Amino acid sequence: MPEGDTVWRTARRLHEALAGRQLTRSDLRVPKLATTDLSGRTVLEVVPRGKHLLTRVEGGLTLHSHLRMDGAWKIYAPAERWRGGPGHQIRAVLATADRTAVGYRLPVLELLRTTDEGDAVGHLGPDLLGPDWDADEALRRLLADPARPLGEALLDQRNLAGIGNVFKCELCFLLRASPWLPIGRLPAPERATTLAKKLLEANKDRLARVTTPSARPDRRQWVYGRGGRPCFRCGTAIRTGEQGPATQERVTYWCPVCQPEDADTPSFPEPTG
């Protein structure tokens, strides 16, 4: 599941493969870009912005893509077999003389003027892995709606960019707070931004995401993906429940003992696991 750390690594791989090189092939397989050809243009850079990827090419153009749940960019050598998925899942092909970048299952693919990138990413809060990271501004945005549940506030990219559902669940556990706790009632709320920054920085160079002290495959996350299994700290079964607006609900994992329910929060959901 792509989150800020995954997108950061993807941007780095794309930049290393394409930046400073002229495109010998451009194939953008979405209807609105079907006749667009970037061949002959030099790729200037590929940069991440939260969960967004911005591929800037000469001529003042930016190819904007977003991975969402299962999108991916793969890099191949000229004679290498493409193995990222069946051909009908390919949405973009960008090739140079010695590398080919193939975008699979990209739900967002659009070509913008570089000067108009703000139309696509201007709404985002400070980027946890970006040069614009501002912990004070991120905290201000998080606390702007003190009644909002902690988990929803952390997942909202307008507050701080880069947290997905995995990091949301893990952060709530590390904060010892229910995902449904109103964020305005979180003790020492500045710890939320500090821990978020620490977790993403620690994982940006890792292929396997780790949020616990152990790198064992079965102990890499405290709660995420562990519904019904014992909490590593107290042994209580991890619970699951849906959180978020109806069209954006995410399965949330939490320990009811290490993250006790807030008695003043009547909307706390019934567990589903």
What digits encode the pLDDT tens for the residues 193-232?
Answer: 999 999 999 999 998 999 999 989 999 999 999 999 999 9
pLDDT digits (tens, 9 = 90+) for 235-255: 999 999 998 876 677 899 999
User: How many angstroms separate the CA atoms of 7 and 124, rounded?
Assistant: 15
Predicted structure pTM score: 0.90
| Active-site annotation holder among 2, 149, 182, 189 | 2
Two structure tokens written together for 234: 């107290």
- Bridge-based pairing of strands 108-113 and 61-66 is antiparallel
pLDDT digits (tens, 9 = 90+) for 14-73: 999 999 999 999 999 999 999 999 999 999 999 999 999 999 999 999 999 999 889 999
| Active-site annotation holder among 9, 48, 49, 51 | 51
User: How many angstroms separate the CA atoms of 226 and 132, rounded?
Assistant: 34
Domain range annotation of the chain: 4-121, 135-254
| Active-site annotation holder among 3, 91, 99, 126 | 3
Does residue 220 carry a catalytic annotation?
Answer: no
pLDDT digits (tens, 9 = 90+) for 106-138: 999 999 999 999 999 999 999 999 999 999 999
**pLDDT above 80 (res 142):** yes
Dihedral over Cα of 18, 4, 220, 247: its sign: negative
* Alpha-carbon distance values, 136 to 10, 130, 160, 189, 197 (Å): 27, 15, 11, 11, 12
In the prediction, which pLDDT does 162 show? 96
In the prediction, which pLDDT does 264 show? 42
Does residue 2 carry a catalytic annotation?
Answer: yes
Element (H, E) at 52: strand 52-57
How many Cα atoms sit within 13 Å of 134 on the Cβ side?
A: 11
Where is pLDDT greater, at 244 or 81?
81
Hey, what CATH topology would domain 4-121 get?
N-terminal domain of MutM-like DNA repair proteins (3.20.190)
Does residue 250 carry a catalytic annotation?
Answer: yes
Two structure tokens written together for 7: 């997108």
The CA angle 185-187-192, to the nearest 5 degrees, is 100
In the prediction, which pLDDT does 261 show? 74
| Active-site annotation holder among 74, 197, 239, 250 | 250
Where is pLDDT greater, at 195 or 270?
195
Q: In CATH, what is the architecture of 135-254?
A: Orthogonal Bundle (1.10)
